Each structure stands twice: as C-alpha cells, then as structure tokens.
Amino acid sequence: MGHGGNVIQELTTDHREVDALFTKLASLPADDEQRRELADELTMELIRHAVAEEMYLYPAVRRYVDGGDDLADKEIEDHSEVERMLKDLEGCRPGEAQFDALINRLQSTVTAHVADEENRLFPLLAESCSPQALDELGEKIRSAKKTAPTRPHPAAPDTPPANKLLAPGTGMVDRLRDMLTGRGRG
C-alpha cells in the first residue's frame, strides 16, 4: 500500500501489484473460493489507489500539465467505470458467469487505464513538475491510501474539495466493516 519514492514510482508499483492480483485470479479454477478473497483484495487496492489519485494526482495534473483538465477528466471517468464494475462484483461468487465476465472486463479496463497513465500522463507530469513536487505528491498519495475507502462508492464525489472531506470518514467505516467481516485478511 505504501512503497516510497515519488508519485510516479508509488503509483507504478501499485499498478504492478494489481497486475499480479489479476494473474493470481486467472490461475485459479473458476469456482475456487479463494477467487472471492482475491477479488476483495483487488477491490481494496483499486479503490484506495483511485481515491488517492483523485485527491492529489489529478489536481496536480490540472495545475501543472498543459491540457491537464481534459486528461484528469478522462482518468476520473475511467475510475467511475471501474468503480461501478467493482460494485457489481461485490454481489458475485466465483463460478458464476457474471463473476468471470466482470473480472475480464475489469482487467481490460484497468489495463488500458494503466497504460494511458504510464505512457502519457506520467511523462507529462514528470516534464512539468520538479523532482521535489513529485516527491511531495508521493507522500500525499501514501498518506491518502492509509485513510481511503476500501469498498466501491460509485455515488461518492471524486473531485476536491468534497472527496477530500468525505473519503477519510468513508474509509474509516469501510475498514471497520472489513475488520468485522474478516474481509481483506485472505
């Protein structure tokens, strides 16, 4: 969840962890109950990552990158699509056709989003921000992931200031629910 380094290093490491979770999911038989635990872990990682990006990365892109508003809007739109899929996935069990269909759609959408960030957005941000600013953003991202929600909330605000005000409280409630249900301890 917190790796160190500047914002680009932090988020790229998150991307590789998500890739590894998709690989683990694909390696198990369709009806293996461990796939539910992995789907929950994937959901938790994707939600924390997305919330942190929405709180700090995209405002920085809007501020520093030429055409940043359009870039940030596209990335936030991708997050909304992923969050809706994750919400649908919550109600599915391994072995159900919808579970596999959602995992496949999710992987395709996330892979395209990651490629866009790593090949277009990150280089533009690196060009327009000082190394110190990138390091500070990395710290903010790590801090945000510690308090971010762990469950999909598609109707929640995804832009400042409302997301910065509501995410920590929502995150606290999600982590309490996770603790009570044992979710994420797979």
Tell me the one-letter amino acid at 141.
I
Q: What is the pLDDT of residue 112?
A: 96
Bigger pLDDT: 183 vs 142: 142
The class (CATH top level) of 7-181 is: mainly alpha
Give the range among 5-9, 115-119, 172-176 with minimum mean pLDDT.
Answer: 172-176
* Segment among 6-20, 36-50, 143-157 with least mean pLDDT: 143-157
Query: In this structure, which amino acid lies at residue 83?
Result: E
DSSP 79-143: HHHHHHHHHHHHT--TTSHHHHHHHHHHHHHHHHHHHHIIIIIHHHHHHHS-HHHHHHHHHHHHH
Average pLDDT of the residues in 33-55: 92
pLDDT bracket for residue 68 (50, 70, 90): very high
Is the predicted pLDDT of residue 19 greater than 60, yes or no? yes
List, for residues 89-147, the tens digit of each pLDDT value: 998 999 999 999 999 999 999 999 999 999 999 999 999 999 999 999 999 999 999 88
* Half-sphere CA count of 7, side-chain side, radius 13 A: 30
Query: pTM of the prediction?
Result: 0.84
Q: If you average pLDDT over every residue of the chain, what do you get?
A: 86
Average of pLDDT values for 30-57? 93
